[in-house]
Structure 1
Amino acid sequence: MAAKSGTGSVGDRHGQELQPVGNEASAVKAAESTGEEDPIQEAVAATQFGNFERLVSLVENGRVPADVRTPDGVTLLHWAAINDRLAIIEYLLGQPGVEVDSKGGDLDATPLHWAARNGLVDAVHMLVSHGADPLRTDAQSFNTLHLAVHSSNVMLVVYLLHEGLPVDSTDSSGRTALHWAAYQGDALSVDVLLRWGANVRLLDSTGFTALHWGIVRGNMACMRRLIEEGSDLSARTHDGKTPTVVAREMKCYPTYAAAVAEAGRDIVDGSAVPMWLSEHGVQQLTFLWPYVTLSMVFTELASLNAFFALLAGVGTTVGMHLAMVKFIQRARGTKRLQIVKTGYLAGIFSASAFWVGIRWAIYVLPVTVGEFPLVNALFAAVAAASMFMFVRSMRSDPGFIPLAKDVPERRQTIEDLLSAGEYDARHFCINCYVRKPLRSKHCRVCKRCVARHDHHCPWVSNCVGVNNHRAFLLFVLLLELAIPLFIFLVSKELILLAPSDEEPMCMVLAEPFCSIYSSDPLTVLVACWAALQLVWVTFLSVVQLMQIARAMTTNEATNMHKHGFMGGAISPPARESGEAGVSSSGASIAPSEIGPDKHNHAHGNNGGGPARLCMRLLGIDQFLMLMRDVRLFGGRGQGYSAALQSERNVNPFNHGTVRNCMDFWADGGELIRMSDKPGTSGHGRVGGRSVDYLRLWNVPYGGVGAGSV
């Protein structure tokens, strides 16, 4: 949800050029230059344009009192607040006679109201810290929280809630901040307010609940969250309209019905649809389902002739998949099933590995062990090590950022970030309420922030982060070796078993392949299926190794093309731009922070259709992006290459290929992290020196920059 950001949050502090603004219709207009004879207009213009020296000169020389007011009561502090002139605000508040809560303008608003209406977090913080009353209301009966919601700056909303403002305070029309957030379709603010305990059943003066207003706006995310938190689907307005009636009048009934279904409610009576499966049950079922599916498909393909086997195999695969989806959707009370959030793909891999192990142990090993004992021993060792790494990758803590113990601790974190000029979406997570270390990211599937986040991988049903990245990569690399070894052993087994005196009946394969296949068809099918896994394994191996050589994560590699490395910040202090769409006031959030993960070889949503989803699941999209980078950095496409190597794309963690690889593989800690207790370890190396990625706030050591592939 993009949000208004005003004119910037730390303009004075970092010397950025800000355009003066004003939003009170009756306020006196500033002079276009500072050459006006009227000293009051001159002072107003100096305040708007951030001319600190000129304003101080006017006040100190006695030409304009610091508490001067225009005819409608607007003060210099109002103009400083609405233009986010922090140095001027601090100066004026130190002058005698200046009232922090002075009211003025048509809306009888305070400087705090003006700053909050424009979503200026730093200005609001400075005024509150100097005694401004956030519960004071303007002529429209809006307090600071209401105005913060109007600005759609979720960072400001989070700050004010941690300052202790009552979440359900109402204006003169009985509307709370939640009513206004729902009406504006601000899904981020709605979510924050609901998690803070906002009452979804409160009625305003017209009898509208927040859900009614969400329907008026037609935002599905808002409606779903409000319904999930217990909105009354039968609540009637003063003129007798239920949410369903309002949805039909606003011509958004299909969206409303979908929101009700996804929230697990019955649209007729609003009751919760019974759920037969818990989240844990869904994980278990989706993980085990491929075992049944693969068993059925392999058996059919091996026992029927080619034509009927193909039909039966495809039909069984599609039918079993649809049956699982429909069953789980029904068992979950009509909630939509998102495959990437389940253990389905991890189940496909583990079921495949199970069949490989069974066929090797029972059929391949007895036949080939005499002639190829070392190859069999090597395969057994590599396959066992790969499965161990798979389990470690799936079950271990990827590097979850420790959560704050209580509200005071979270409030202190916000205060510290504000003091450092870093209270924005790149440094603070509005979902976990934690300070985000560099290279971390909030995972929408795991619902936690992960240190040195690489990607969320559905093939292991877990995030890949600082603590399990090596285990994950070893899992993939060992697979790259284990699969060819298995195929080699199967080929030798088939040759040894091929009948010499029979004429097998094959409808598709020609001799001698027909004889070879007929000797052990099920093992052949399992080997072919294993060979198909080499597609995503190979793509992923190449991408991961190249990224390690460049000291980049998958998340950073993807975002570099969209928003710059780490959102364009290359060195402390953090740059103003932040992540994608993050204004200097932190008013909006990067797309990757608020939607399904769109990076990685995975595996976010299925945007772009089945073909696009397939490319993501197989890692083809990341591989193509990597090859494009290699081509550009290799001397072709100089224009784009230069753009990638621009300042915002510099990688400060890059210390050259050799050093980067040594940092990843030999960081001084355990090769495979064995501790499963979250928040206990985030050890890594940058440039050969130890860092703690759970608490990495600044780039520790300068690197050679972007461009080394």
Structure 2
Amino acid sequence: MEGPGLGSQCRNHSHGPHPPGFGRYGICAHENKELANAREALPLIEDSSNCDIVKATQYGIFERCKELVEAGYDVRQPDKENVSLLHWAAINNRLDLVKFYISKGAVVDQLGGDLNSTPLHWAIRQGHLPMVILLLQRGADPTLIDGEGFSSIHLAVLFQHMPIIAYLISKGQSVNMTDVNGQTPLMLSAHKVIGPEPTGFLLKFNPSLNVVDKIHQNTPLHWAVAAGNVNAVDKLLEAGSSLDIQNVKLFLLLMLSVITMWAVGYILDFNSDSWLLKGCLLVTLFFLTSLFPRFLVGYKNLVYLPTAFLLSSVFWIFMTWFILFFPDLAGAPFYFSFIFSIVAFLYFFYKTWATDPGFTKASEEEKKVNIITLAETGSLDFRTFCTSCLIRKPLRSLHCHVCNSCVARYDQHCLWTGRCIGFGNHHYYIFFLFFLSMVCGWIIYGSFIYWSSHCATTFKEDGLWTYLNQIVACSPWVLYVLMLATFHFSWSTFLLLNQLFQIAFLGLTSHERISLQKQSKHMKQTLSLRKTPYNLGFMQNLADFFQCGCFGLVKPCVVDWTSQYTMVFHPAREKVLRSV
């Protein structure tokens, strides 16, 4: 017996090992989506008049099934393998037949098959969310245990059907329900499913981390360790970690960075002519500092190392300016400009880091309502629903896996601030880049002023090579700080110009620009980045971004991207779209 859901491609599975819980009746759970779709597209048999009701059910031949039922066939009668018509309709996602059979008296929770499963169990194993919704609406009991000892939510976890997991929990099934062995879904995921999901997904529903199974007395973490599931171990440890401990680790990382950068400069400035000795000391220092962060702060927090490096660089830049450059520049306008620039940099760095970039938020009840609504309207897919945050994704948003949250009008996760850049803090980020460039520019200028006052040679009189040798001998520390300033000036200026170009001339974020460029490579015609619904022209783009009316010349369009799910066009936007 075969049908579009049990087509010729899977015939060989009927004589060999079968996926857990399917017996001889189901589709191979590990086959890809394209193969499943190919089976759905199989042509119907030419003559259905001689089709028995099981084959007609598998193929979804509604009229033939209706004819046989009205002729007296009992829809509750199982076939010779103890499988009911409702089972066959459920596994092949025949929604109309399920409704018809139930209306004719089919038992919605009838057990059948090798593993004594209900139609709901079969639908869950196959990942048919519409069928799961229909069966639950018709009274199916998701708490029933199948022949392998699994309830509905355990099966959804085992087969990694995240939308079904979300829907079952939202409809009231407990995330801490136990199977026949006393394992919760979180234990089963940590033990049986190698990888970060669905363990990370289940943690969104606040399951118990300390409950133990009734046989081995293991917690979810014990099961993850026993299975060697490193990703699950990380997720579980992260779920139980303390925010206070996290802050202490970040402070230690910053202090370690400040001390290391001072030590590098001290070694370079050491009163010795032996560069071999200095080189050996630097190698030893880097070896030691490469070990300490791993033990003190852990691998996960090393993502903040660039941020610590930036802040440490600015700290020593400021100290160098104040201690070495102040006597030569005291009272000069340049000195006060530097002080203003560094204060502004610190302010906008803090605002970029501390301001909510546009994290989408919803209460647990709102999440469940949204999941049910999206599922029952057929919209519970990854384009509109974030399986990590359990929310409907706003327009132009993206889930950041570092911050573990969806960010409205997502631009990037900034390496140098350790924060996402999005709708809430993007304008602060622009000023952060601008004033960082200013700070570094002033320190570069101050370095040359210092050398001209304290070194015995000049570039004009002695040439480049002699000049370089002299400034290295004169003050290696100043040269070290100059190199730091030049590095930070280069990347900050480049990002600033790139950001201003995207904002003013394209009306796009960095993520949108990169995504469109990737799409363009796979299209026959070149995709113009200027012709998008978000590009309103130079003045309007800037007015919208900075929410500035430019003294009444332009009217900014106010859009709350944290709750914008459909495009609402400003009059200027409609004009642009008509021209595209």
Which bin holds the TM-score, normalised by the shorter protein? Answer: 0.7 to 0.9
In 2, Cα distance between the equivalents of 1:402 and 1:484?
Answer: 40
In 2, Cα distance between the equivalents of 1:88 and 1:539?
Answer: 62
Q: Is residue 2:126 matched to residue 1:118?
A: yes
| Matches for 1:181-580 after TM superposition, within 5 Å | 181=189, 182-185=191-194, 187-193=196-202, 195-197=206-208, 201-204=212-215, 214=224, 218-225=228-235, 278-304=245-271, 305=273, 307-308=275-276, 310-311=278-279, 314-315=282-283, 317-319=285-287, 321-322=289-290, 324-328=292-296, 336=299, 338-340=301-303, 342=304, 344-368=305-329, 373-404=332-363, 406=364, 408-499=365-456, 510-516=465-471, 520-548=475-503, 549-557=505-513
Change (3 A) 1:280 1:669: farther
Change (3 A) 1:100 1:643: farther
AA partner of residue 325 (structure 1): P
For the pair shown, the structure with the greater C-alpha radius of gyration is: 2
AA partner of residue 477 (structure 2): L
In 1, Cα distance between the equivalents of 2:549 and 2:536?
Answer: 21
Q: Give deviations 1:500-534, integer Å, cap 9, x for gaps.
A: 79xxxx9x984334445555543333122211223
AA partner of residue 324 (structure 1): F
Q: What is the match of residue 661 of structure 1?
A: 541
In 1, Cα distance between the equivalents of 2:564 and 2:173?
Answer: 31
AA partner of residue 25 (structure 1): R
Change (3 A) 1:162 1:414: same
In 1, Cα distance between the equivalents of 2:526 and 2:131?
Answer: 35
Q: 1:120 Cα shift?
A: 2.1
AA partner of residue 167 (structure 2): Y
2:562 to 673, 694, 697: 694
Change (3 A) 1:78 1:691: farther
SS of the aligned residue for 2:143 comes to: coil
In 2, Cα distance between the equivalents of 1:489 and 1:696?
Answer: 48
| Matches for 1:621-636 after TM superposition, within 5 Å | none
CA contact (8 A) 2:76 2:105 kept: no
Change (3 A) 1:90 1:480: farther
Q: 1:438 Cα shift?
A: 2.9
Q: 1:471 Cα shift?
A: 0.9
CA contact (8 A) 2:341 2:439 kept: yes
Higher relative CO (Cα under 8 Å, sequence separation at least 6) belongs to: 1
Q: 1:222 Cα shift?
A: 3.0
Q: Is residue 2:110 matched to residue 1:102?
A: yes
Change (3 A) 1:696 1:659: farther
Q: What is the match of residue 50 of structure 2?
A: 38
Q: Compute the TM-score of the two structures, normalised by the length of structure 1.
A: 0.63
Identical aligned residues as a percent: 27
What is the RMSD of the two structures over their aligned residues, measured on CA atoms?
4.4
CA contact (8 A) 1:410 1:434 kept: yes
Q: Is residue 2:137 matched to residue 1:144?
A: no
Q: 1:179 Cα shift?
A: 4.9
Q: 1:184 Cα shift?
A: 3.3
CA contact (8 A) 1:44 1:76 kept: no
CA contact (8 A) 1:168 1:198 kept: no
SS of the aligned residue for 1:38 comes to: coil
In 1, Cα distance between the equivalents of 2:245 and 2:210?
Answer: 26
Q: Give deviations 1:311-351, integer Å, cap 9, x for gaps.
A: 1663365145235325505xxxxx545410x3x32222122
Change (3 A) 1:178 1:400: closer
AA partner of residue 188 (structure 1): E
In 2, Cα distance between the equivalents of 1:179 and 1:400?
Answer: 30
Q: What is the match of residue 677 of structure 1?
A: none
Change (3 A) 1:475 1:114: same
Change (3 A) 1:26 1:655: closer
In 1, Cα distance between the equivalents of 2:229 and 2:406?
Answer: 26
| Matches for 1:161-200 after TM superposition, within 5 Å | 161-172=169-180, 175-181=183-189, 182-185=191-194, 187-193=196-202, 195-197=206-208
Q: 1:67 Cα shift?
A: 3.8
CA contact (8 A) 2:145 2:180 kept: no
CA contact (8 A) 1:441 1:449 kept: yes
Q: Give deviations 1:79-136, integer Å, cap 9, x for gaps.
A: 442233445545655x343443334444443221111111222321222122111112
In 2, Cα distance between the equivalents of 1:644 and 1:48?
Answer: 46
CA contact (8 A) 1:293 1:316 kept: no
Unaligned runs of 5+ in 1: 1-17, 231-262, 264-274, 330-334, 565-632, 634-638, 671-686
In 1, Cα distance between the equivalents of 2:375 and 2:267?
Answer: 64
Q: Compute the TM-score of the two structures, normalised by the length of structure 2.
A: 0.76
Q: 1:48 Cα shift?
A: 4.5
Change (3 A) 1:168 1:483: closer
Change (3 A) 1:660 1:214: farther
AA partner of residue 662 (structure 1): L
SS of the aligned residue for 1:698 comes to: coil
Change (3 A) 1:49 1:533: farther
Q: Give deviations 1:153-195, integer Å, cap 9, x for gaps.
A: 1232232233332445444455554454322325322344464
Change (3 A) 1:212 1:289: closer
In 2, Cα distance between the equivalents of 1:689 and 1:386?
Answer: 28
Q: What is the match of residue 20 of structure 1?
A: 5
Equivalent residue pairs, number: 530
SS of the aligned residue for 2:541 comes to: helix
Change (3 A) 1:91 1:551: farther
SS of the aligned residue for 1:449 comes to: strand
CA contact (8 A) 1:393 1:460 kept: yes
